[in-house]
Every structure is written in structure tokens, then in C-alpha cells.
Amino acid sequence: MSKKVIVITGGSAGIGAALARLLGSQGHRLVLAARRERELHEVAHSSGYDAVAVVADVTNREDVFRLKDTAIQKCGRIDVWINNAGRGIVRPVLELTDDDVDQMMTINVKSVLYGMQAVIPHFQERGEGHLINVSSFLATIPWVSVRSAYIAAKAAVDVLTNVLRMDLAEKYPGIHVSLAIPAVVLTEFGQNVIGAPPPRPASVPPNAQTAEDVAAAIASLVDHPRSTLYTNPTSPALIRRYREDPDAFVQQMIRRP
């Protein structure tokens, strides 16, 4: 396994922090970005002696390009860029405000777009590189409809990722563009949503994954690039059921306790 220079956004908690610790333990050189300085430095400290912490707001284009420049300055190159930062919402479609939609698109879509536009020219110059955008299986299936604009934003991430892959495929075969798609993950993400967070379930949802589970799956994607990775092996069958008969799926969801 070759050692890589890997940039991870949203690196101060949850999946990003778990991924940083795992990849750091494997000997990769890490550049971690997040807004929360103390938490970010704690994760960097636990992810390898040479991990670089860059306090940045990835909804700001200048911050993202500064992150790219810092990574190249400190490490000489970037091999893998993981767009992981994001935030959810709890708001039904008919209650969404302009501000809700704008925030979801800025946090979840523009941050990814800025990362793509920052690092892909660097990959093109080198003729190789790997972009990983972290999405959600909710972008494919309305499992939790109250996430509304978050689901729409992640669907936009999926489309932009797939289109970019097509744009690069012929001229830059050495550049890999991947979607990592988690399902239910046991992190604080759900408690930090816009709107009132849902009450914590009395028991762990079936087939839920930990941040460490998802990190292990994404680490495997770093080692063996491919276009799409569902971190939870049960997700493809669930999505297939929905696509084959959406009406029956909706009725089943309505009847579930």
C-alpha cells in the first residue's frame, strides 16, 4: 500500500475524525480541515505526528483554495481529496424557507463544488489523483422525508460527481472520482441539524453503522478506487426495492411503527 497525501474536510468530528485516525494509523500524510479549531487540532494530534490542521470554512471558496495551497506547500502534492463536510436539516418540504434551502445548498453542495474546483486542476497537472465525495443513501431513497432539502442537496452532489467523472474520463484516466454513500451512521450529525433534532431512538436502528465502520469502508476506497461505494452492504438491496416499486415502498413506510 503506497502512502498518500490525503485532504479531509469536516475532519473535527464524526466520520471525518474516524477516517483521519484510521488513515493516519496506516501511515498516510493527512491535511485536515474544519471550522472548530480546538477539536480539529485534537483530531490531528491523534492522527499522526505530521498531520496538518487547517482551520477553514469550506462554504467559503477562498478558504478551500487556501486549504489546497497549504496542503501542497506542506506536503508537496495532494493524492486524495475527501469532501466530507456537511450538515442536515429537519424540516418538511412545505415548511422550508429560502434560508433553509440556501444553507443546505451552500453547506452541502457549494463546499463540494469548491473542493472539486480547487483540487482537480492540481490532479490534471499531475495526471493522477482521487476525489471522494461523501454523499448519503437518502439522496436515492426518501427513507427520512423530513430531511427534505438535505436530501436534495446530496442528490445534487451525486449528479455533480457523476458528471465530473464523465468530463475527465477520456483525457484523464488517471484521475478517479468516487462517491462514498453511507446510510444510518451513529454520530452527532443528527443532533446538529438545522431545526429541532429528532428524539434519540430508544434502541440502535437495525443495520446502523458507527463512524469507524464508515471510515473503514472509505479507507478501502482510497486503496481501491471505484465510482460508487455504499458503506453499508444492505443499502443496494433497499434502493433496488424502492426503484422497482416506489408506490409499494411508500405504503410500507407509512405502515411501519
Closest CA to 30 of 44, 12, 46, 14: 44
Identified catalytic residue from 150, 172, 230, 242: 150
The CA distance from 48 to 225, in Å, is 24
Residues 6+ apart with CB under 8 A from 22: 212, 215, 216, 219
CB distance 48 to 30 below 8 Å: yes
The CA distance from 24 to 28, in Å, is 5
Q: In whole angstroms, how large is the CA radius of gyration of the chain?
A: 18
Residues 6+ apart with CB under 8 A from 155: 139, 140
The CA distance from 127 to 138, in Å, is 33
Beta pairing partners, 5: 29
Concerning whether 150 is annotated as a catalytic residue, the answer is yes
Closest CA to 158 of 220, 217, 213, 230: 230
Q: 255 vs 138, 205, 232, 249, CA distance in Å?
A: 19, 17, 24, 10
CB distance 121 to 69 below 8 Å: no
The CA distance from 88 to 103, in Å, is 10
Catalytic residues: 150
